[in-house]
Every structure is written in C-alpha cells, then in structure tokens.
Structure 1
C-alpha cells in the first residue's frame, strides 16, 4: 500500500527532475517543522520546488518577491484605518499563509528580515501593539542567488540560524536536463488542457507526520552522537589531527539550536526512510545541510582553500558513532 510519504516523494520527483536530494531534504525540513533556505544559480528549479510542494498540500500558499524597497508591512500586514467605523483594522499580509516562498530573500533590507525573523522564530507577527498567530503549518522556503551580490543584504547569522536546513543546489546532469527539456515542451504543448493538480493531503496530515517523527525512538548513543557532531564544529582540533589543523579553522561553531535541528531532522529522515527508530546514518545523511550555515570558517581555512562543506565533511567522517 502506497503511503502518504511515498506519494509526496513521487509527486516532487516528477515535478523536479534530477534533484532527488532536494526533494528528500525539502520533505525532511517540512516534517521536522523547520524552515529551509535554498541557494543556487538562477533557473535550477528553486521556485518550481516550492510550488510543487505547495500544490501537494491542501493549504494556503503565497509567494513574496523580496526587493530592496519592500517594507515590513508588505510582508506582515498592517493596520488600516476604516473610514466607515473610524477604527483601525488589521489586514493580514502574505506571511499569514501555510507555505510561504520568500524569493530572493537576501534582496530585502534589514527591517524586513527582522519581521521575517520573528515570524520564523515565534510563529507570530507583531503589528502595532498586537500580535497575530501564524497558521499551525507555517513553512518558509527561502531562495537566494549566490552569484549576484550587488543590491543584496547578506542574511545575518541570527537569521540564518532560524533555518533548519540550507540546501545548496547545482546544475543537473546532461541526462536530467534533456528530460527537463522534453517535459517542459510537453507541458507547453498541452498548456490549455492542464488543470490545477489535486492536492495529495491536508495541512493536518503534515502536522500528524511531524508528531510521528517526534515520537520515533532514539537511543541514548544516537543522542550523544548528535551532541558530539555539534561539539566537533566548536573544537575541530579534537577530531582532526593532521597538519592542517595546527591553526584554528573554524571561527564560530554551531549553536545549541543546531543540536535541536539535528535531532528533529534525523527523526524526520528516519520516518522518510520507513523506520520507527533513528540510526547514526540518519544523522550523518542530513548533518551537512543542517550545519553548513551555522558554522563560520576562519581566515586560515579560507586561505587554505577549505570551504565550510569541506571542513564539515571531514568532521562528519571523523566523529565516531558510539
């Protein structure tokens, strides 16, 4: 019998050709009840991925195109004076939806990013003297382009830490790109006959999956393994004993929020893999996207040509599972 998870995987893999890691990690972040940051060059299906996921869930979806002239009220909503009543009433903004696509998030100024930070961290928005709760299923998919830096506002570390995962995307293979070409051509030929796809589940079904993931069994040894992985980002010299570790390669390691994120994502990963318990492999499989945006490498590491992913991959391979 095909499960809801199987149907979601199949739907995303048909919509996003040649990106199986992206579809899997999107579902991990969703079931882990976090938010995800997609980074990659233009035209590699970042927005398509967000729309495909939104189409699979019977909920409210909204895309916000971030620009330098955007105001916090354009995102959160604002109090509007009603002439008929002589009072102000709150008009909800696009953030008040189940799934929100924050397109090119690094083009938004600091005030807008602060408003989004509260929404992601507290699941509420504050307008004037009042706070308004966001939907129970509130999932932000943010995208950014690493190529263009002009006219952008780099996300501060506090904002990055609110994302449970950061997924780096590259170009598809030649075979996958050929499949994309043919698929899009067929869609364009039959555009007039296409209808909006029927959703596969409701928001409550996703909330139920989130609770099931939290209830999975995790042994004490796996808990210790998660903590040791995070500790390794703060003290890499304890795990890497070669000559390149004579200097401090990591300036700031991952925060305790990373430990919580690893726990939730490992549970979601185990659920997606069809198990009712968590293994060290579940942790290893998602450790890189969970940790890569929470670690700041030192000048020595950058001068040696070591990227954050390079260092983390080495640490993950050296930290033993108990």
Structure 2
C-alpha cells in the first residue's frame, strides 16, 4: 500500500539554478502559469463540500501567479518575517502543543484558540494533510526552504485568524475569514472562492444577510494591521480583546447577529468524502467493472 501511495505522487519538478528567482537574498522557483478553469472546477467542488479543504489549496495554487512572490518579499521585508524563514519559527509546533497552550491564562488568545481547535476537532496537522492531498509537499524543495516556510506559516495561521477575526467554521464564517485572508495575502484565489461561495450561500438561504456580512468583513479586513508582520507567540499571551485591539480587528456585528443554528445550516455538505476519497472510490469502481 505504501509503495502504491508513493507511486501516485507526482514527480518533483526540478528547477535549474539558473531559473531561480531571487527575492531578498532567498531563492524561489519561477511562477506557475495561471489555471483559471482548474480553479473554477475546484471552487464548485468546495461548494459541494466545504470540508474538502484540499480544494482551497488547489484554487490558491491555480491562481497564485506572481502573488506568492510579492507576499514573500513583503514578509521577508519585516524583521519577524525574516526570523520566521531563517530560524525557522515553526508555528505549527507552537500551535500544535496543546499542553503549552493550556498553560496560558484563561481568556488569552492562546486559550481561545485551543478552545476553538478542540471544539471543532481540528489540528494544525489536518491542514498539512489537506495540502498534501493537493500535492503540496513542504519538504520536497529544500532549496526553497524559506518560501516553503512562509507557506506553512500562512497555512497554520488560518484557524488562528478564525479566532482573531471572530468568524466561525460555518460556510459564511469561512468565507468571511477568507475575505481577511485575501486582504492579508492579496492572492486572487481567495477572491474567487468568496465570490462564488457567497453566491452559493445566498442562493441556499435568501434570508441570511450574506452580502452585508461579506462587505462588513471586507471593511474590517482593510482596517486590520498586516497580521503576518506580528509575532504570533507574543499575540498568544495577550487577552483576546487586547490582541484584536493591537491588530485593529473590529467585531463582526452583522455575522454575529445571525443565529448560530442558521449559520451552521448553510451549505451543509452533500457529500462527506474529500476529493481524494471520491477519486479513489471511482478508481475502485472502474477496477471492479473491468475485472
């Protein structure tokens, strides 16, 4: 089974040193071509099952273009960003150590994050697994370790930003959190998810103020400090209200006014499988039919 799994992995794309793109003294690979049709198909799969996190990675990869390089430059222009990619600062370890998080005082960002993760049955490793489903291997390119470290850092921040922004993991909450992510990263993939996802949520329940909530998220996101420039471990020690004040994050009043049972009823997954599981099931059915 292990050999079969390894065989399914796509081959590593070798990048000759002469093709490296150097940013702030760090090598990065050439930008991948934009694949809009692939991104659109992945958005439709994500709407069908919002738990299929793999599709987010597919969309972001397909539409990144040069945005990841611009983000990397901005990140490594900051003192904290350079420390993250050079030490490196392994945020997945800090946020994955539940006993360490539990040692923080009640009411701090660390404890609220821990409560969120335990309540939703999430781990930082779960996001990495979703990335691997999208054929993202953070260890495959040691020559681009600094860029990969940024991607890992950003990925692990996702659930922390849920807590900071005040948005839950319901379909609308995820979209509003992606509005924040789009503002922080400038990746066009998040905009596509929000546009199509917002339409799907509105069609699912016209009574929900979807557009108002997304617009409020946009206004709040524009006023927010650039979170990636802030030392996450310093923020963890602060009371949640103080961390939000430091980052200038406003309360999502429109979103909070929607009853929780209504929010969590939006876009209920019509399938429980991830894309990888569906593809595996399809292969198994095809094998049985040809036998």
- Larger helix share, 1 or 2: 2
TM above 0.5, yes or no, is: no
- Larger strand share, 1 or 2: 1
TM-score normalised by L of structure 1: 0.27
TM-score normalised by L of structure 2: 0.29
